[in-house]
Amino acid sequence: MKVHLIVIVLSITGQMGLTQSHTSEAKFSYEIESDLAEGKIGATRAGLLYSLIGDYRNSTQYSDIPVSWGVDTLSLDEYTTESALSKIIEASRNERIVIISENHLKPQHRIFALRVITELANIGFRHLGLEAFTSESNSNALLDSNLKDRGYPLDSRLTGSYTLEPKMGMLVRASIDLDYNLFAYESTGKVNGKDREEIQADNIIKYLRNHPDSKAIIVCGFHHAVESNRIKNGSSYWMAKYLKDESGIDPLTVYQDNFTEKFIENEHPVLRLVKVAEPSVFVDKSGDLVRISEHVDIEVIHPKTRYVNGRPDWHYETTEHKSVKIELDNRAVDFPVLVSAYLIKERDSVPFDRFELKHKYDDKVMVLKTGEYRIAIYDGEKTIEYNQTVE
């Protein structure tokens, strides 16, 4: 990954605006801490709220899951690593379903998932189901029925829950640009005798039956990608297992969290030994993909996060992504502030980037692609806005 160390202070265009509205679910860190202390939210919810304001450290330090199904005890000495993207695409060529699992608190998983989705569009994949989408009456229809025509997700649960996070918002935008047909599959109602996992699988199968011969990608959280006989909560299988058994289609399953850094649980020891500079996979001496467990087909190894200008380095995902300093001098704001960058052509959208500045000496920067943006600075009472061009 090429990291850009330069901080670019860009010219501000247009008149500074002052508004009173702030409709996002994003909260200041002191509000999250207060809600947590008072028992209004739990650690998982706190982690999700921190993810909405780009606070990766706090997000992952409040909620994590351990390395799963014993792969931390495996000897991996006989394997080497190669770049994951090309290997996954090659393995997907003859597949009808590819399932990509993410940790909802690790946006680098969404960045990598988008790379896969982008390449799969070139080999016939045209349908994309996200656990994150809000469905209409437990169907495949999106509650946000105008999403594809509009071209971007709303900063509202109308589109979805996890879609409120900027990197998931980016994934949705890009998938629309790639002309994917988007569908929902999350369970929104109870079905007698069926667990959430089986209902999810039923919804995916329903969609596939309405699109015969289609090739689909499913993006889900955590263990929903498990296709083995591993039991969930002592009573049911996971979504991928039900999908596999009930559809007769063996999906290609990709899991991202076992070999990603952890901050609460013990991370996989291989992360101390294998230094990867990009998302990678295990291969044998012949260069062939290695399946190291029966539960999923492919495990992705993610590089450890470094920080550039106060932001995780994976924000700099392409050469178009640049550091943009927010100038707050002589602006009538009280700290802390939430800073959000919206594409000017969008309205009421998930921001392209967002973070909290706790004091005037906080030197974090926005990471933005080339384009025209509306920068919104919210201090809890008012929002100051200005337009900015990134070239």
Write out pLDDT tens, residues 44-83: 999 999 999 999 999 999 888 999 998 988 888 889 999 9
Residue written as token pair 């605006």: 17
Using CA of residue 76, residue 79, residue 82, residue 85, what is the dihedral sign?
A: negative
Token pair of 94 as six digits: 């003859």
Token pair of 357 as six digits: 């500045």
Q: Which residues pair with 324 in a beta bridge?
A: 8, 366
Angle at which helices 43-52 and 29-37 cross, to 10°:
170
**For position 358, what pLDDT does the model report?**
93
- Looking up residue 111, the CATH number of its domain turns out to be 3.40.50.11550
Establish if 35 belongs to a structural domain: no
How large is the C-alpha radius of gyration of the chain? Answer: 21
Strands (E), 146-215: 181-184
Q: What is the rounded distance in angstroms from the CA atom of residue 384 to the CA atom of residue 287? A: 54
Query: Is residue 299 over pLDDT 90?
Result: yes
Establish if 176 belongs to a structural domain: yes
Residue 329 burial by Cβ neighbours in a 10 Å radius (0-12, 13-18, 19+): exposed
From the list 205, 237, 207, 243, the residue with the least C-alpha distance to 223 is 237
- Please name the helix (run of DSSP H) or strand (run of DSSP E) that holds residue 301, with its range, or none: strand 298-301
Query: Is residue 7 over pLDDT 70?
Result: no
Checking DSSP bridges between strand 311-312 and strand 307-308, what pairing results, if any?
Answer: antiparallel
Q: Provide the 10 A C-beta neighbour count for residue 125.
A: 22
Write out pLDDT tens, residues 147-165: 999 999 999 999 999 999 9
Using CA of residue 293, residue 129, residue 315, residue 366, what is the dihedral sign?
A: negative
Higher pLDDT, 373 or 2: 373
Establish if 28 belongs to a structural domain: no
Establish if 36 belongs to a structural domain: no
Write out pLDDT tens, residues 241-278: 999 999 999 999 999 999 999 999 999 999 988 889 99
Position 12 confidence tier, pLDDT thresholds 50, 70, 90: very low
Query: Is residue 285 over pLDDT 60?
Result: yes
Structural domain of 194? 71-301
Q: What is the rounded distance in angstroms from the CA atom of residue 339 to the CA atom of residue 331? A: 13
Establish if 345 belongs to a structural domain: no
Checking DSSP bridges between strand 298-301 and strand 322-324, what pairing results, if any?
Answer: unpaired
Establish if 162 belongs to a structural domain: yes
Establish if 369 belongs to a structural domain: no
Query: Is residue 235 over pLDDT 90?
Result: no
Q: Work out how many domains the chain is built from and give that number.
A: 1
Establish if 231 belongs to a structural domain: yes
Query: Is residue 193 over pLDDT 50?
Result: yes
Q: What is the rounded distance in angstroms from the CA atom of residue 342 to the CA atom of residue 140? A: 29
First to last CA, the chain: 20
% of the chain beyond a pLDDT of 70: 93
Amino acid at 127: H
Token pair of 203 as six digits: 């919804």
Global pTM value: 0.92
